[in-house]
C-alpha cells in the first residue's frame, strides 16, 4: 500500500477513522479457510474458539492461526496501519506487532454490544455480507441493520459523537483500540462475516503523554 491515496481518513469525531480495501485474494483465502477447514473439524474449532474472550452475541468467533496471519494478511495490515498513522499524525511507525486477529460469523438476530479492544491499533474488515439485511420496522426510517457503529464522546455542536457504516465486502476500518464500537443485528438469511485485529505499534508514537508532550 505504497500509494497513500488507497487509504482514506475521516474525522467524524476526535479519533481518526481510516478505511482501506482488502485485496480480493486475501478475502478468498480467509473465506476458504473458514468454509473448508473450520466447517466440520470440531477439535480445531474448539482449539481456535475466541468466543470466551470476546463480547459478541454471535454464532462463532475464530482466532486465525499464525500460518493464516503470516504473509499477505500481515503485510496488508502493516502497510495499511503505516498509512493510517502517517495520514493521521504525520509520523512513521517502524514496529507492528499483531496481538490477535479473529473472524466473526454473525447471523440473523445476532449482534455485538458496545465494546473496545486491547493493544494500540485495532480494525475490522468485511469478508461476506447478506444479500439483504432485512426491512425496517417503521418503513420510513433509515435502515441500519447490520451496520457497525463507532462512538466517541457525546453529541455536541459540530460533533455527532458517533458514526454508523454499512459493511461492504472488502472495506477494512482502522481505529485506535479505545474507540467504542458495536454491531447492529440484521434480519433475514445469510451471513455477515468480518475479521478483526489488535496490534501494537512504536511505544514512543502511541504514548502521547510522554515527557515532551
Q: Is residue 5 part of a domain?
A: no
pTM beyond 0.85, yes or no: yes
**Which has the closest alpha carbon to 30: 160, 169, 210, 198?**
169
Report how far residue 146's alpha carbon sits from residue 135's, in angstroms, rounded to the nearest whole number: 11
Q: Is residue 213 part of a domain?
A: no
Q: Is residue 212 part of a domain?
A: no
Confidence of residue 1 (pLDDT cuts 50, 70, 90): low
Mean pLDDT, residues 18-46? 92
Mean pLDDT, residues 135-154? 93
Q: Is residue 183 part of a domain?
A: yes
Q: Is residue 151 part of a domain?
A: yes
Q: Is residue 211 part of a domain?
A: no
What CATH number is associated with residue 91? 2.60.120.620
Per-residue pLDDT tens for 112-122?
999 999 999 99
Please give the residue that has the higher pLDDT: either 18 or 8.
Answer: 18
SS3 53: helix
Cell of 87: 495520514
Q: Is residue 55 part of a domain?
A: yes
Report how far residue 26's alpha carbon sits from residue 197's, in angstroms, rounded to the nearest whole number: 15
Q: Which domain holds residue 158?
A: 10-206
Given this model, what pLDDT does residue 209 score? 78
Q: Is residue 170 part of a domain?
A: yes
How many domains is the chain partitioned into structurally? 1
Please give the residue that has the higher pLDDT: either 54 or 5.
Answer: 54
Given this model, what pLDDT does residue 9 score? 75
Amino acid at each position: 500500500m505504497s500509494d497513500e491515496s488507497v487509504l482514506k481518513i475521516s474525522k467524524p469525531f476526535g479519533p481518526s477513522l481510516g478505511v482501506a480495501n482488502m485485496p480480493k485474494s486475501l478475502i478468498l483465502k480467509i473465506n476458504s479457510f473458514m468454509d473448508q477447514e473450520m466447517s466440520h473439524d470440531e477439535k480445531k474449532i474448539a482449539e481456535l474458539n475466541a468466543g470466551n474472550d470476546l463480547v459478541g452475541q454471535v454464532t462463532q468467533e475464530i482466532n486465525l492461526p499464525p500460518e493464516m496471519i503470516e504473509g499477505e494478511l500481515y503485510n496488508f495490515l502493516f502497510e495499511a496501519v503505516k498509512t493510517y498513522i502517517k495520514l493521521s499524525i504525520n509520523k512513521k511507525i517502524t514496529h507492528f506487532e499483531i496481538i490477535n486477529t479473529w473472524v466473526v460469523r454473525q447471523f440473523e438476530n445476532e449482534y455485538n454490544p458496545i465494546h473496545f479492544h486491547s493493544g494500540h491499533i485495532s480494525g475490522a474488515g468485511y469478508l461476506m455480507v447478506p444479500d439483504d439485511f432485512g426491512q425496517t420496522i417503521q418503513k420510513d426510517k433509515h435502515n441500519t441493520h447490520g451496520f457497525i457503529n463507532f462512538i466517541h464522546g457525546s453529541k455536541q455542536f459540530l460533533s455527532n459523537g458517533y458514526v454508523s457504516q454499512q459493511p461492504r465486502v472488502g472495506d477494512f476500518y482502522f481505529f485506535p483500540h479505545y474507540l467504542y464500537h458495536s454491531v447492529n443485528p440484521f434480519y433475514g438469511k445469510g451471513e455477515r462475516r468480518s475479521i478483526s485485529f489488535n496490534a501494537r505499534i512504536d511505544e514512543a508514537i502511541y504514548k502521547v503523554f510522554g515527557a515532551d508532550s
